[in-house]
Amino acid sequence: MAELRDIVSLYIGFESNEIRLPITEEDRQEFRKIIADQEKMRDIVMDDYQFLQRHGHNGKGGNRIHIGWLLACTVADAEKVLINPPEEKRDLSKKVLTCIEKRFEEVPLAPVLIR
C-alpha cells in the first residue's frame, strides 16, 4: 500500500505522508489507475519532444511542448488522493506544476499561466 502512495507522490509533487493510504481495494485500483495514466501522459510528452527534435517544431509551429492538459489532469489526480489539499486551487496547481517541470527538465516546456 505504501509503495503505491510513494509512486503517486513522485507524480503529484507532495510528500507521501500528505497522501492518504490506499486501504481498500477500490483505493488501490484508483492509485494504480493514476500511476498508469501518469505513465501514459509521460509517454505523450516524450513523444511530442521527440517530434520536436526530429522536425524542429512541435507540430503547431512552435518550439516548446504544451503541458496545460498534463497540469489539469495531474491536479485532478492530486485532489483525489491528498489528505488535506491546499484551500486555494492556485496553490495546488503551482506545486504540481513545479513537480512537472522537474520531471521534464530536459524538455522545453511552454509557459503555463495559473490564475
Residues 99, 48: Cα–Cα separation, whole Å: 19
Strand partners, 82: 19
How many C-beta atoms lie closer than 10 Å to residue 84's C-beta?
7
pLDDT of residue 30: 98
Buried b / exposed e along 20-30 (16+ C-beta atoms within 10 A): ebbeeeebeeb
Residues 6, 81: Cα–Cα separation, whole Å: 12
pLDDT of residue 59: 86
Q: Which helix (H) or strand (E) holds 102?
A: helix 89-103
Task: Compute CA 101 distance to the chain's CA centroid, rounded to the nearest angstrom.
Answer: 9
Write down the domain spans for the chain.
2-103
Residues 73, 75: Cα–Cα separation, whole Å: 6
Residues 71, 92: Cα–Cα separation, whole Å: 10
Residue 24, C-beta contacts closer than 8 angstroms, at least 6 positions apart: none
pLDDT of residue 115: 84
pLDDT of residue 112: 95
pLDDT of residue 9: 97
Q: Whole-model pTM?
A: 0.93
For the chain (115 residues), the mean pLDDT of every run of 10, in chain order, is: 93 97 96 98 97 91 94 98 95 97 97 92
pLDDT of residue 1: 76
Segments in 13-112 forming alpha helices (H): 25-55, 68-81, 89-103
